[in-house]
């Protein structure tokens, strides 16, 4: 008698599986290669008609796995059977290749066997293992399935009649009624029973009863063997070869009921829908399987040997590759790639890093010059999605070599507007960015607004636009090339409680600082102590900001700095923001005290550090010695930029107060009382003209 | 009798003047606003025929000034008269506007007058002053000429016959012969005499003699006044109004020869070419000028009043503007703008800075990733003109947000090659750059070359290409993402005596260093002491570089760093090169000793500093504390990268030696003797696996 050949499972992986695996890998698994649970499904094997020959061709015995396989309570599609499995993702292609396939396989086979013996259940009979390596940089997924199947010794043979149509075989007279009944009973269950027992029961509807295989002893207690029909949902559409699930079912039966199972009447259930014509068209088949040697064959103890690694499309035992790159939307690919690079930080180095705090920070960049361009680039590197530029200038020929969002073409025909052009460049770099540019002149103290209606209205509109922009953002970067242009945003941002990062360049020195947050006597840190009120850009000044732009020579108008200074200062400002946002107290993060012992480790400063380290108040860089110096400066109660006097006057009076500050050189000094200080010659302070960024902080040296 | 009206000079500025002034301003004048000498020229006034009316129209009395006016021994065009003058360029538009025009004018007028009285010469009579403000960022030139002309009181009147054709007036019979003779005598002189005296001398050729005005007393000693004819080259083509030069000539004559000059016969010489027809077509005119009041008028002492600021095209006393931007080649504009920004450093801050040392340095960037892109940008900022990239990769979707020479579009269709794409980006930023890219895999120790002919030939070709590239450049930047890929260029560059800058990133730390130069016992510093041999990237290693690339997890394959780290490290590397190149000992510049007193001023370290400051050997940056630490490491005589043993083996054996290093993990350790060290367990060194950039230097902490 011919030996029964079984049709193996053939994996069918939905692309959704790989997308989901990518997400899991990046966000959950990270470096773990522990196996995780996954489920697949299979259903009755389908045939298609060959267009040329008109013959029915059976499709492979697909075991389909998709993203939903990771869901714990996933409901399979109607008529499908769930197969449980596990997925083991390797960290490197080398590990994937070097994995001990024999050991992995044996462990799986053993798990199935142990489960059978322990629980007498069939739920793990179609258990599978999927090993993978996900090349997330290239969207290539290497994978290999194994579907362990136990090898019967001796092999099963099929009775002389072979596989016959169930409609013929099941009952000579009432086959249609019976099959209909089996169908109805089977398919009302969800998930469908993968294996079931059938017996004739004239009193039952359709004359048959069915039960799970687990009920074998009770259900067939008084049924003679020749009337027992054991059925399974057959994923194989091949007329002679039943699918893999039968193979393990046979092993299961032989292991648990060795006495009665060396000859079995098997129904390959293959009718997902009953045929239109009552008496013909049933696809299910029945055959009698015999294991030669009878009971003796099952008496050998221990687990039978097993096979099961899937062959690849080349017909070899080896992994398959899914290359998803060509089918992915490039914009989405870019977004995922950028995300990935950031999320990798959390795998090994900083699991506690909260990337969303940075990427969700809406950043307003006042100035789209050398600093503005470099700040935007580092922000993009951190995944920041909302970047807004404000600038009043146009791209000039000297800009592109120092301002990394502009090109030569942007300088032609008088130059494109910088803010809008920088925003457009961000879009070209990363389509997922939300970047906008506003050409806007920021009114400044020392630059009086001409006393005509149009100029006043323009200034008012400019102020309102700036107020709105600051309101709509979380962090404001002051990146302009003059001192006085920083005043208005300093005041507005302080009043609105926004984060302010300030960067200014000298020839080979820079200042990067965060403005202190407005505090009240009620605001306290997590340690219960009142918040320290740190200074702003103007806190060390003893005169109000004034016109420094008029009457400048060429070398004062241009950015005369060592070219490496701007990228260093800009990146430092962005990293300062990153550290600030990671600090539990955010805007109120305390500044580390200046320390002469620069080698003290950060660990000794509990409460000061974010997960990214210290959050300094000010940093002064000196490129002539490649040195950086952290500084701390307290807020000054006569400060023209952030003192309560100034903020309250702004909040109470609004635009008219600002107008006074723009027009009247002495207004801010009178308001804050700086003028009295000056008149009285208090202290030894003198009004000295410093280079742009050296106007404050010098006392700290 | 009608008062004589004079046609004033009209300035004609050649664009070459502005280009030359730009150069002078940037390279020579810088912030100086001292007046500098300049000459202009004028020639006989020309007429053109009005196309519609057919009438001759006189062109303005042009005084032309161009770039050649700055040349000391400039020869004017044939037939032109030189006018001396001075140019005073202001630093700011405000200073230009606020300049005291009256004082400037009076000083010029006085200078002319003083010169006349002191020297009795006419050479300064047409002296002019040009004040300017050059907006070199926008190529706009504001300028204002003054041509001081003395006002005669009372005014000169012209005789009843007015201006008559010289051909009619000069001689009733032989006018043609005489004019021909005057022409011949006058125009053989170069420069042409602006003023000259004529007398009839029958024995002379043509019957006339001419002499410079300075010879007035002797030449006319025996000539009756009615036979004296005083001539001048007249830039005015107006039939009734002689040009401005006559005005000052009259003042000169009245001042020096008051007794004989209240009535003068004046020849307006206006024939640059004698007419074709002998007796007609002469343009020169003769008239008799009378100053009413005779001798008395000249007896008033002191300088007559003067006028002379030129009116602008709007007919107002005010400056003119030359806007050269629209007529300039944008590529040239860009080149000038970039140069300008750099040269400004020398104006005030660092006059001794040698920009050429930096801009002429040919830089080879091994690696066109995050570091490579940022390094290239800072190099461009410094004016470096030759930048060559080597990379074997393609642009991937995660690159553009961190690698500032790539855009989203570069990632499509599998990604463009990085090296060539980065080079193309530089060209888009600055068309004057000489940028190229080479897709090349650098062979590495620990990555054996497959033992087949094709692979061996490929490796040999790759090595030769790298050798050639290093040979052709002055500085080599090591900016790759693995340790072992830096080995081959380290060896080649050390052997060839090239500058090597090395940058490597950790998560929030970086290393930037310069490799020490190969020294011999003969090589000594300027102080006579032997050169210090500083270490290379491998000098702290106790094992040879090996395969660190295979078997890496995703977070090890990608650049998992704080995004601000790369711009900081890259810019630091470029600034280190800048400081090194400015140091008088260049490649051999000594490293400043590590100092705990970080606030010591750089001035105290004589001989150590370049004009840009110190030239550290190694810099380690720690972003978690925003701190940078300078380190010094000596060369190690067992170093696998730069020891004499390795360099000599490479120089002697060539490619076969390299091949051994690639293929045999132990070769370099055996060659250098590191293996013995290791076997003997000398010291407490251990082979520890560090993160990429933390493999060395840790002993220095």
Q: What is the three-state SS of B58-107? A: ECCEEEEECHHHHCCCCCCCCCCEEEEEEEEEECCHHHHHHCCHHHHHHH
CB atoms within 10 A of CB A551: 13
DSSP secondary structure code for residue A515 in this structure: P
DSSP secondary structure code for residue A700 in this structure: G
Task: Name every chain A residue with its beta carbon within 8 A of the beta carbon of B627.
Answer: 598, 628, 630
pLDDT at B100 over 80: yes
Left (φ > 0), alpha (ψ -120 to 50) or beta: where does A158 sit?
beta
Task: Name every chain B residue with its beta carbon within 8 A of the beta carbon of A625.
Answer: 598, 602, 613-614
pLDDT at B643 over 70: yes
Burial class (CB in 10 A: 0-12, 13-18, 19+), A365: buried
Cis peptide before B191 (omega within 30 of 0): yes
Q: Do A429 and B408 touch (CB under 8 A)?
A: yes
Structure tokens at B533: 């041999």
Ranking A403-412, B374-383, B523-532 by mean pLDDT, the lowest is B523-532
C-alpha B403/C-alpha A644 separation (Å) is 43
Catalytic residues of B: 558
Residue A534 · residue A517 · CB < 8 Å: yes
- The pLDDT, as a whole number, for residue B298 is 54
CB atoms within 10 A of CB A57: 12
Which chain A residue is nearest to residue B566, measuring alpha carbons? A571
Q: Do B623 and A95 touch (CB under 8 A)?
A: no
C-alpha A133/C-alpha B604 separation (Å) is 59
- The pLDDT, as a whole number, for residue B682 is 47
Q: Do B623 and A602 touch (CB under 8 A)?
A: no
Share of chain B above pLDDT 70, in %: 90
- The pLDDT, as a whole number, for residue B292 is 87
- Per-residue burial over B364-389, b = 16 or more CB atoms within 10 Å of its CB, e = otherwise: bbbbbbbbbbbbbbbbbbbbbbbbbb
Q: Do A408 and B397 touch (CB under 8 A)?
A: no
- The pLDDT, as a whole number, for residue A438 is 98
Which chain A residue is nearest to residue B622, measuring alpha carbons? A613
C-alpha A102/C-alpha A541 separation (Å) is 75
B681 falls in which pLDDT band (50, 70, 90)? low
Task: Give residue A634's Cα distance to chain centre.
Answer: 40
* Angstroms from A662 CA to nearest CA on chain B: 21
Task: Name every chain A residue with its beta carbon within 8 A of the beta carbon of B402.
Answer: 341, 380-381
C-alpha A292/C-alpha B119 separation (Å) is 139
pLDDT at B695 over 80: no
Residue written as token pair 């000061």 = A608
Of A429, A557, A575, the CB nearest to B564: A575
Q: Is A162 helix (H, G, I), strand (E, B) or coil?
A: coil
Share of chain A above pLDDT 90, in %: 60
- The pLDDT, as a whole number, for residue B644 is 94
Task: Give residue B618's Cα distance to chain centre.
Answer: 34
* Angstroms from A42 CA to nearest CA on chain B: 33
- The pLDDT, as a whole number, for residue A301 is 65
Give the ranges where A527-594 is alpha helix by DSSP (H). Answer: 554-557, 565-582
Q: Do A612 and B562 touch (CB under 8 A)?
A: yes
Which helix (H) or strand (E) covers residue A339, if one does? Answer: helix A330-343
C-alpha A214/C-alpha A630 separation (Å) is 74
Q: Is B147 helix (H, G, I), strand (E, B) or coil?
A: strand
Residue A387 · residue A429 · CB < 8 Å: no
Q: What is the DSSP string of B374-429?
A: HHHHHHHHTT--EEEEEE--B--TTSTTTSTT--GGGGGGG--BHHHHHHHHHHHH
Q: What integer best gives the mean pLDDT of chain A?
A: 87
pLDDT at B175 over 50: yes
pLDDT at B414 over 80: yes
Q: Do B397 and A334 touch (CB under 8 A)?
A: yes
Which entry of A61, A363, A373, A558 is annotated as an active-site residue? A558
Residue range A484-513, pLDDT digits in tens = 999 999 999 999 999 999 999 999 999 999
Q: Is A309 helix (H, G, I), strand (E, B) or coil?
A: strand
Residue range B337-396, pLDDT digits in tens = 888 888 888 887 888 999 999 999 999 999 999 999 999 999 999 999 999 999 999 999
Ranking A90-104, A324-338, B176-190, B293-307 by mean pLDDT, the lowest is B293-307
* Angstroms from B91 CA to nearest CA on chain A: 5
Residue B43 · residue B80 · CB < 8 Å: yes
Q: Do A578 and B564 touch (CB under 8 A)?
A: yes
pLDDT at B203 over 60: yes
Task: Name every chain B residue with its beta carbon within 8 A of the beta carbon of A624.
Answer: 602, 609, 612-614
Residue range A274-323, pLDDT digits in tens = 877 766 778 899 999 999 876 665 555 688 999 999 999 888 999 999 98
Share of chain B above pLDDT 90, in %: 60
Of B336, B554, B627, the CB nearest to A91: B554
- The pLDDT, as a whole number, for residue B118 is 94
Task: Name every chain A residue with its beta carbon within 8 A of the beta carbon of B333.
Answer: 397, 411
Domains (ranges, CATH) in chain A? Answer: 10-148+310-325 (3.40.140.70), 157-306 (3.40.140.100), 352-385+445-522+529-592+609-682 (3.40.50.720)
* Angstroms from A574 CA to nearest CA on chain B: 7
Which chain A residue is nearest to residue B630, measuring alpha carbons? A626
pLDDT at A691 over 80: no
Which helix (H) or strand (E) covers residue A426, if one does? Answer: helix A418-429
- Average pLDDT over every residue of B164-192: 75
Q: Do B344 and A554 touch (CB under 8 A)?
A: yes
Mutate to test the interface with B, among A31, A334, A397, A428 (most CBs of B within 10 A): A397
Burial class (CB in 10 A: 0-12, 13-18, 19+), B203: exposed
Of A138, A341, A578, the CB nearest to B559: A341
A559 falls in which pLDDT band (50, 70, 90)? low
- Average pLDDT over every residue of A264-282: 82
CB atoms within 10 A of CB A664: 16
Which chain B residue is nearest to residue A567, measuring alpha carbons? B567
Mutate to test the interface with A, among B92, B394, B554 (most CBs of A within 10 A): B554
Q: What is the DSSP string of B610-666?
A: BTTB---SEEEEETTTTEEEEE--B--TT-TTT-HHHHHHHHHH-HHHHHHHHH-TT
Burial class (CB in 10 A: 0-12, 13-18, 19+), B164: middle
Task: Name every chain A residue with its beta carbon within 8 A of the beta carbon of B31.
Answer: 553, 555
Identify which has the larger pLDDT, A551 or A22.
A22
Task: Name every chain A residue with its beta carbon within 8 A of the beta carbon of B591.
Answer: none
Task: Name every chain B residue with its beta carbon within 8 A of the beta carbon of A559.
Answer: 341
* Angstroms from A378 CA to nearest CA on chain B: 6
Rg (CA), chain B: 38
- Average pLDDT over every residue of B181-207: 83
- The pLDDT, as a whole number, for residue A556 is 66
Residue range A45-85, pLDDT digits in tens = 888 777 778 787 778 899 999 999 999 887 888 888 999 99
Closest-CA residue to A419 (of A346, A348, A470, A366): A366
Q: Do B345 and A558 touch (CB under 8 A)?
A: no
pLDDT at A245 over 50: yes
A687 falls in which pLDDT band (50, 70, 90)? very low
> Is A363 one of the catalytic residues?
no
Closest-CA residue to B572 (of A628, A105, A568): A568
* Angstroms from A666 CA to nearest CA on chain B: 23
CA angle B304, B309, B310 (to 5 degrees): 135
Which chain B residue is nearest to residue A569, measuring alpha carbons? B568
Closest-CA residue to B404 (of B392, B387, B421): B421
B595 falls in which pLDDT band (50, 70, 90)? low
* Angstroms from A423 CA to nearest CA on chain B: 14
Q: Do B337 and A412 touch (CB under 8 A)?
A: no
Residue written as token pair 């590239």 = B469
Tallying the residues shown for chain B, one arrives at 701
């Amino acid at each position: 008698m011919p030996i029964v050949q079984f049709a193996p499972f053939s994996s069918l992986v939905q692309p959704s599986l790989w997308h989901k695996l990518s997400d899991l890998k990046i966000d959950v698994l990270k470096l773990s290669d522990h196996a995780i649970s996954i489920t697949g499904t299979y259903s009755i094997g389908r045939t298609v008609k060959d267009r040329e020959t008109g013959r029915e061709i059976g499709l492979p015995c697909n075991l389909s796995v998709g993203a939903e396989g990771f869901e714990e309570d996933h409901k399979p599609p109607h008529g499908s059977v769930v197969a449980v499995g596990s997925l083991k993702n390797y960290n490197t292609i080398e590990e994937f290749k070097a994995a001990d396939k024999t050991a992995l396989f044996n462990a799986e086979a053993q798990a199935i066997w142990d489960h059978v013996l322990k629980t007498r259940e069939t739920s793990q009979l179609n258990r599978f293992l999927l090993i993978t390596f996900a090349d997330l940089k290239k969207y290539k997924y290497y994978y290999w399935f194994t579907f362990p199947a136990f090898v019967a010794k001796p092999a099963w043979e099929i009775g002389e009649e072979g596989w016959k149509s169930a409609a013929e075989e099941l009952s000579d007279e009432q086959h249609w009624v019976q099959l209909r009944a089996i169908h109805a009973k089977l398919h009302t269950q969800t998930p469908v029973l993968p294996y079931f027992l059938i017996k004739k029961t004239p009193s039952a509807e359709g004359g048959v009863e069915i039960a799970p295989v687990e009920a074998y002893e009770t259900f067939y207690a008084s049924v003679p063997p020749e009337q027992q029909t054991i059925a399974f949902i057959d994923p194989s559409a091949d007329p002679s070869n039943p699918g893999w699930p039968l193979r393990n079912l046979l092993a299961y039966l032989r292991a648990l009921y060795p006495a009665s199972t060396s000859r079995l009447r098997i129904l390959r259930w293959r009718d997902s829908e009953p045929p239109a014509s009552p008496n013909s068209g049933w696809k299910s088949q029945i055959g009698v399987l015999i294991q030669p040697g009878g009971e003796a064959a099952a008496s050998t103890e221990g687990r039978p040997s097993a096979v099961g690694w899937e062959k690849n499309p080349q017909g070899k035992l080896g992994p398959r590759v899914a290359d998803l790159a060509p089918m992915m939307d490039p914009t989405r690919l870019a977004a995922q790639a950028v995300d990935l690079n950031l999320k990798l930080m959390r795998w090994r180095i900083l699991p506690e890093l909260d990337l969303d705090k940075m990427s969700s920070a809406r950043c307003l960049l006042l100035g789209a010059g050398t600093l503005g361009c470099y700040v935007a680039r580092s922000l993009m590197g951190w995944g920041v999605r909302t970047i807004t530029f404000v600038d009043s200038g146009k791209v000039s020929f000297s800009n592109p070599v120092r301002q990394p969002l502009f090109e030569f073409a942007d300088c032609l025909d008088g130059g494109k507007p910088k803010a809008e052009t920088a925003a457009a460049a961000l879009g070209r770099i990363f389509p997922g960015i939300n970047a906008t540019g506003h050409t806007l002149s920021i009114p400044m103290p020392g630059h009086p607004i001409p006393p005509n209606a149009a100029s006043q209205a323009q200034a008012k509109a400019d102020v309102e636009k700036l107020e709105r922009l600051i309101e709509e953002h979380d962090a404001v970067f002051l990146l302009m090339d003059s001192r006085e242009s920083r005043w208005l945003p300093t005041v507005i941002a302080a009043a609105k409680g926004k984060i302010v990062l300030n960067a200014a360049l000298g020839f080979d020195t820079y200042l990067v600082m965060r403005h202190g947050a407005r505090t009240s006597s009620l605001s306290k840190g997590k340690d219960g102590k009142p918040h320290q009120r740190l200074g702003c850009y103007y806190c060390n000044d003893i005169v109000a900001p004034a016109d420094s732009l008029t009457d400048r020579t060429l070398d004062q108008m241009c950015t005369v700095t060592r070219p490496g200074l701007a990228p260093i200062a800009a990146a430092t400002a962005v990293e300062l923001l990153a550290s600030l946002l990671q600090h539990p107290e955010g805007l109120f993060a305390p500044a580390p005290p200046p320390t002469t012992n620069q080698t003290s480790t950060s660990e000794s400063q509990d409460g000061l550090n974010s997960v990214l380290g210290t959050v300094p108040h000010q940093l002064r860089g000196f490129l002539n010695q490649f040195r950086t110096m952290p500084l701390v400066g307290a807020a000054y109660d006569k400060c023209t930029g952030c003192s309560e006097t100034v903020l309250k006057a702004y909040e109470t009076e609004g635009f008219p107060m600002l107008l006074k500050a723009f027009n009247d050189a002495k207004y801010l000094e009178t308001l804050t009382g700086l003028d009295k200080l000056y008149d009285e010659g208090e202290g030894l302070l003198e009004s000295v003209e410093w280079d742009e960024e050296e106007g404050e902080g010098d006392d700290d040296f």
